[in-house]
Chain A
Amino acid sequence: MRQIQLNGEPRGVTAATISALVEELSLDPRKVAVERNLEIVPRSLHAKTPVSDGDRIELVQFVGGG
């Protein structure tokens, strides 16, 4: 279990990579963007990017706005 900050909240996750994390959370990787420790993680690198203890990860999507 890794302890990370996910969207501003502490959370324990089992995923070892960003791809696995997105899957663990039942999200569609085509519809979310990922930031890890203030750096964008391009979709092409999700599978190669590790999730480590203490990581600050943001998962965002488009919502309605003006």
Chain B
Amino acid sequence: MTDIAPAPETWTVAGRTFSSRLIVGTGKYADYAQNAAAAEAAGAEIVTVAVRRVNLTDPNQPMLVDYVKPDRFTFLPNTAGCFTGEDAVRTLRLAREAGGWSLVKLEVLSNTAHLYPDMVETLRALDLLIKDGFDVMVYCTDDVVMAKRLEDAGAAAIMPAAAPIGSGLGIQNEVNVRLIVEQAKVPVLVDAGVGTASDATRAMELGCDAVLMNTAIAGAKDPIRMARAMKHAVIAGRDAYLAGRMLKRMYADPSSPLAGLI
């Protein structure tokens, strides 16, 4: 009998190995308790987090780390809101001091309307961060040539936006995502743009190593249920990718034998 459940499958980024291929954000939830429940339902091992000033007027506000605990999840600090390489380095040095992690997500934004990254500045920031000892997963455009530049510069993972952050539009350029996957020797993750489960499945069918999402879960009517859907979607897409899909053909091919008809 063949295995119904194949051997556990893992992926590795910057020497760290994970079995979950779904990274979830921690923004936009109703509260941190819902956030933690969604991360659990997603089966996530990595969560992205932002670095912000402490609220000095109310130091008793709930804190993320009291709900989404750093001993349960690998924190992936981001540079959301940074527009220059220097801002990104400053933010991530603080993140490293706050939590001690060197694995980070770099995003250097260009414009607040579409939140696409400034890739020239991103490449420069990547260089600064690597010199400072960080392992950098890079949010980028789905530009195949720029993805190669990032990899050559030492990116730990390439993370193209499938569509604008928070848009839920799904993968806008499957050809580019696939070309990036085929050329990369480091993990490729779709980061941003996923709207529903089938988008996550599609990313995995294209050969991505993992998917990173926030709003698709946090913005669902029932975030916990959507987190669970995304978990299954990513597993299904990965299995379909590894199984190797059938060839597409133009005309029908009956599944029942033509011989022996009464």
Contacts and interface: CB of A to CB of B under 8 A. Distances in A.
A60 B98 contact: yes
Interface residues of A, number: 26
Contacts of B51: 33, 60-63
Contact of A63 (B64, B93, B212): B64
A64 B93 CA distance: 18
Contact of B59 (A26, A34, A40, A65): A26
Interface of B: 25-29, 32, 35, 48-54, 56, 59-60, 63-65, 75, 77-78, 80, 90, 93-95, 97-99, 165-166, 192, 212-215
Nearest to A43: B97
A43 B97 CA distance: 8
Interface of A: 6-9, 25-27, 31-35, 38, 40-43, 58-66
B53 A65 contact: no
B56 A6 contact: yes
B53 A60 contact: yes
24 contacts: A7-B53, A25-B54, A25-B59, A26-B60, A33-B94, A33-B98, A40-B97, A42-B97, A58-B53, A60-B94, A60-B98, A61-B63, A62-B99, A63-B49, A63-B52, A63-B64, A65-B49, A65-B78, A65-B214, A66-B26, A66-B48, A66-B165, A66-B192, A66-B213
B54 A61 contact: yes
A33 to B, nearest CB: 4
A66 B53 contact: no
A32 B25 contact: no
Contacts of A60: 51-54, 94, 98
Nearest to A34: B97
A26 B56 CA distance: 9
A65 B95 contact: no
A64 B59 contact: no
